[in-house]
Chain A
Amino acid sequence: MNNYLDLDIKSIHELLVNKKIKVSDLVSEAFQKIDDNKLNAFITLDIEGAKKRALELDEMEVPKENLLFGIPIAIKDNIMVKDLRCTCASHILENFISIYDASVVELIKDAGMIIIGKTNMDEFAMGSTSETSYFKAPINPWNKNKVPGGSSGGSAVSVAAGFTPFSLGSDTGGSIRQPASFNGIVGMKPTYGRVSRFGLVAFASSLDQIGPMTRNVYENALLLNIIAKHDPKDLTSFETKEDFTRLIGQDIKGMKIAVPNYFVSSVVDDDVLEVFNKVIAMLKEKGAIIDYVDVNHIDKAATLYQIIAMGEASSNLARFDGIRYGLSLKEDTLEDLYKKTRTVGFGTEVKRRIMVGSYILSGENAKIYYNKALQIRDDLKKSFEHIYENYDLILGPTSSRVAYDVNINHDDPLRSFMDDILVMHANMGGFPSMSVPMGMISGLPIGIQIMGPAFSEARIYQLGSFIEKELNLNLKAREL
């Protein structure tokens, strides 16, 4: 079997330009690898569509400036791709075929990328292990007994296992960055509004953001170049135009970095801190200025997340009612149809969150919980912005621990939230944040989180790429 997909993007592009390989070769290789390694990374594969599109591209001249032309990509199964199933890993949408393309998917298709399929995930992106999927859970390519993280677990696995160099995930409270950390890849949650959410099945609208998951920082920035575009169909999207690769390779001497004390407190495993501290030492040595800081409300993110995300989710998921699309279990009365369809259609975790969210928004609770949470969220955002007045970026571990054993979160729903206590702040404040591999612990990768003020992605890529180059980890998932 060929291993063209293991080459870096520039090399693949060169081979395509020089007609040494065809787009069809890349697509066949992707499907071959997916088939050879049973990792349940995908819920739906578009073998026929992808091969057909590849043949079309084979007939075209490869545009020299477009590095992503003909490159396979995997899309998380909560993002609409026309004519493909979009299940959100839920029984209720098990047979739902999308009739339109999400705005990001239009951009990806326009760039000539080839969509290989839709990746596995936690049901409706609710979870951090991908185990709440209605389908067989995806497997961590580093160790089959460990979770791949979530909710964008399948997207992370697809990149880590070398099936596709690129994938799209979505991040509501760490769902791109935590699985990126657990799989040893790069995952970026862009600034809220950078990437259109039109066509992303909403979980928590004010927190959701689509982002790129890739093998390295440079390729991550390349994909963000494609998908970051103002979209009139999404009122929360921004008009921005910049080259996200532009600072990559520049020195970081004099860069001012803040490390919140909370990020290096006892909430983080000691072995993770050890790896993190080494990176900090390296950065200091290379001339970065690093200070430890306190940030107001930083310990409240998980609580805020529970209230805001679940409140919004209870409303966003109301549309799955068996009337217009998706699973519909006919009963004698309307109320019974609703009840039966939603009881059978949603999994336990989703139902739990809908119930909690509905409770939080009910009557007086809305004032006590939801409105209060919005206030504190605003304060939290301001306290981070206060830090950004004096620092370029913020650093911390992405997750408090490495990937853990499968099936251990089931009895303790709160535990899965604890995974994300270091990454939810970016969603609360709308800030960009990226996870880059920083080392290995007991054969499992672990990521470092770089967060910055709104629209600072290029600066994040600069530091991320620097860390990547200095550490030179050359990660390769071992179960393959």
Chain B
Amino acid sequence: MSNYQKTIGIEVHVELKTKEKLFSPSSNLYGNLANTNCNIIDLGYPGTLPTLNHEAVDLAIRAATVLNCKIRTKMHFDRKNYFYPDNPKNFQITEERTPIGYDGYVEIDDDGEKKKIEILEMHIEEDTCKSIHSKERTLLDFNRAGVPLVEIVTKPCIKTSREAVLYLEKLRELLLYAGVSDCKIEEGSMRCDANISISNTKELGTKIEVKNIGSITNVGLAIDYEALRQEELISKGEKLKEETRRYDAKLNKTILMRVKETGNDYRYFPEPDIPYVILTPEHIKKVQSEIPVLPSIRRDKYLKAGISLLNSNKLIANKDLSDYLEEFENINLKTASNLLLGDISAYLNKNNKSIFETKLTTHKFEDLVKKLDEKVISNKNFKDIINDVMEKDIDIDTIMKDKGILNLVDDNQVLEIINKVIAENEKVVGDYLGGNERSLKFLMGQVMKESHGSVNPKIANDLLIKTLDAKK
């Protein structure tokens, strides 16, 4: 094992799930046509002034709370001045000197070993435009300009890539459940940068930043790659320079973007257009009281219901499914979770839908779970009808009837077949009544044959025994 110690700090930008932008009344929506959610303020028109979206401040209070941060009660915004086309005013409004949250931590569980990842600070700021580079030109989409963000900065206290991954998974889970953000890395609503240095002495090594890593898993891979790369360079006697790199997932490599110029000068100063924001203890308390149940409470419930740890974590990570489950009071959680994480997840992924966008009403889902538990339908049956279940406004019984899975529904129809088989096999029935248990298997075979294999064996078997026993 290497005698170099890694030191890792992580910066995460998370887009806040507000209706409007941070400093203007434009809609905060992802995926709309370019430049449709922007106004003169987002465009940095002369004469415009920022207003402050208090919903964003409240979501930041939530975030600070679940990250165990201290919350500043008097804060101001600052201007970070730099020229870039994606920065409409050529300054970004942020909180340089008075971040809303500070001195927090996130507790991770590394195979039973608990560790606190310390949060240095968490501040509110506005997002930039999205630059779209096409050939010679760069296009700007101002829909993202002014979207509220919180940036969460850890202390350089992370020692391994595994800790980094566990931290990010936990962070994502906390923010998702507090209703702070969608935390969709693929849509850019959560963006991770890692600062990595290695050293074999007490002094810290040269800090190298890897920006905008595309997934949590890749953060781990990027850190491992980067640490190895740095070690190789150092062992060759090279001196590292502070630089910014990006991670290429296909190559599993980090690639140089730019060498850091000494003393980046952002000419920070307090934003004169936004007065001090005062947060009263009453207000903070009120916001905190509105934070939804945290994932750990749900996880405990799942484990208690007999769901495996793996599946419990899968449900937690897929908040829509977990939220969907919250709508039921008396349901077999284990069956329900298998159903959700199995065929239903496959269907949702394939069709790129949220469970809330399907026709799977709570009533239908309850019925499905019940029928599965009672073996009224099989998993194979469900695969056959899932499209109808998810897409049609009709109940499960009707779907089953339409698909010819009718026997399972109607005892009388099964009974009809049984009576027919009994009538046609008097001798074998006589054998059974005389104590020959094997005759039952033959009769069951006939029932299955007669129904073309579409009856539920258990129901048919129970009903057959019941009918025969009545003849005793």
A233 neighbours in B (Cβ, 8 Å)? 49, 51
Q: Is the CB of A318 within 8 A of B269?
A: no
Tell me if B88 and A363 are in contact (CB < 8 A): no
Complexed CA–CA distance, A358 and B91 (Å): 13
Is A311 at the interface (CB under 8 A from chain B)? yes
Determine the chain B residues whose CB is within 8 A of the CB of A235 once the complex forms.
Answer: 49-52, 273-275
- A420 within 8 Å of B (CB atoms): no
Output the nearest chain A residue to B91 by Cβ-Cβ distance: A315
Is A287 engaged at the interface, CB distance under 8 Å to the other chain? no
Tell me whether B47 and A363 are in contact (CB under 8 A): no
- Asked if residues A198 and B267 are in contact (CB atoms below 8 Å), the reply is no
| Chain B residue at smallest Cβ distance from A322 | B85
Asked if B89 and A319 sit within 8 Å, CB to CB, the answer is yes
Q: What separation, in Å, do the CA atoms of A99 and B47 have in the docked complex?
A: 11
Q: Using A312-B269, A366-B268 as known contacts, list a sample of 14 further A-B pairs with CB atoms less than 8 Å apart, ordered by residue number in A.
A: A96-B46, A199-B47, A199-B48, A202-B273, A206-B272, A233-B49, A235-B50, A236-B275, A315-B81, A318-B91, A321-B90, A325-B46, A366-B269, A374-B270
Q: Could you write out 28 A-B pairs with CB less than 8 Å apart?
A: A86-B46, A86-B47, A96-B46, A98-B47, A102-B47, A197-B49, A198-B48, A198-B49, A199-B48, A200-B47, A202-B47, A202-B49, A204-B272, A233-B51, A235-B51, A235-B52, A315-B79, A319-B88, A323-B85, A324-B43, A324-B88, A338-B83, A361-B81, A362-B265, A366-B268, A366-B269, A370-B269, A374-B270
Most buried by A among B40, B43, B49, B50: B49
**A374 vs B83: C-alpha distance when bound (angstroms):** 25
* Partner of A334 from B51, B85, B263, B270 at Cβ < 8 Å: B85
Partner of A318, one of B49, B90, B263, B275: B90
When each residue 360-385 of chain B gets 1 if its CB lies under 8 Å from chain A and 0 otherwise, what string results?
A: 00000000000000000000000000
Asked whether A139 is an interface residue with its Cβ less than 8 Å from the other chain, the reply is no
| Residue A14, interface by CB 8 Å | no
Binary per-residue interface labels of chain B (255-280) against chain A in the complex, 1 for a CB within 8 Å, 0 otherwise: 00000000101011110111100000
Please name all residues of chain A whose beta carbon is closer than 8 Å to the beta carbon of B47 when the two chains form the complex. Answer: 79-80, 86, 98, 100, 102, 198-202
Chain B residues with CB under 8 Å of chain A are: 40, 43-52, 79, 81, 83, 85, 88-91, 140, 263, 265, 267-270, 272-275
**Contacts of A338 on B, CB cut-off 8 Å?**
83
**What is the count of residue pairs linking A and B with beta-carbon distances less than 8 angstroms?**
94
The chain A residue sitting closest to B41, CB to CB, is: A233
Cβ-neighbour of A319 out of B46, B263, B265, B270 (below 8 A) = B46
Choose among A199, A206, A318, A370 the residue that contacts B83 (Cβ–Cβ < 8 A).
A318
Specify which chain B residues have a CB less than 8 angstroms from the CB of A374 in the assembled complex.
270
User: Is A234 on the interface with B (CB-CB < 8 A)?
Assistant: yes
Question: Are B43 and A318 within 8 A (Cβ)?
Answer: no
A: residues with CB less than 8 A from B are 79-80, 86, 88, 93, 96, 98-100, 102, 197-202, 204-206, 232-236, 311-312, 314-315, 318-321, 323-325, 334, 338, 358, 361-363, 366, 370, 374
CB contacts (< 8 Å) of A100 on chain B: these are 40, 45, 47
Residue numbers in B under 8 Å from A324 (CB-CB): 43-44, 88
Alpha-carbon separation in the docked complex, A320 to B51 (Å): 21
CA of A320 to CA of B90, assembled, Å: 9
A314-B267, A338-B83 are contacts. A205–B40 as well, Cβ < 8 Å? no
B264 to chain A, nearest CB (A): 10
Taking CB atoms, residues of chain A closer than 8 Å to B273 are 202, 205, 234-236
CB nearest to B80 among chain A residues: A315
**B48: nearest residue on chain A (CB-CB)?**
A198
Least CB distance from A87 to B in Å reads 11
In the complex, A98 Cα to B89 Cα: how many Å? Answer: 17
Which residues from chain B contact A198 at a C-beta distance below 8 Å?
Answer: 47-49
When distances are taken between beta carbons in the complex, the residues of chain A under 8 Å from B85 are 321, 323, 334
The answer to whether A361 and B267 touch (CB under 8 A), given A319-B88, A321-B83, is yes
When distances are taken between beta carbons in the complex, the residues of chain B under 8 Å from A232 are 51
Set of chain B residues within 8 Å of A98, measured between Cβ atoms:
47
Q: Determine if A363 and B46 form an interchain contact, defined as CB atoms under 8 angstroms apart.
A: no
CB pair A366–B272 under 8 Å, yes or no, is no
Q: Which residues on the B side are within 8 Å of A205 (C-beta)?
A: 272-273
- Contact partners of B79 in chain A: CB under 8 A: 315
- B91: chain A residues at CB < 8 Å are 315, 318
- A88, A236, A315: the one contacting B269 at CB < 8 Å is A315
Enumerate the 3 nearest inter-chain pairs by beta-carbon distance, A residue then B residue, closest first.
A318-B90, A361-B267, A206-B272
Complex contact A201–B81 (CB within 8 A) = no
Q: How far is the CA of A327 from the CA of B200 in the complex (A)?
A: 55
What's the Cα separation between A201 and B40 when bound, in Å? 13
Q: How far is the CB of A311 from chain B (nearest CB, A)?
A: 6
Measured between beta carbons, the chain A residues less than 8 angstroms from B40 are: 99-100
Instruction: Tell me if B269 and A361 are in contact (CB < 8 A).
Output: yes
> By the criterion CB–CB under 8 Å, are A325 and B45 in contact?
yes
Q: Which residues of B contact A99 (CB under 8 A)?
A: 40, 45
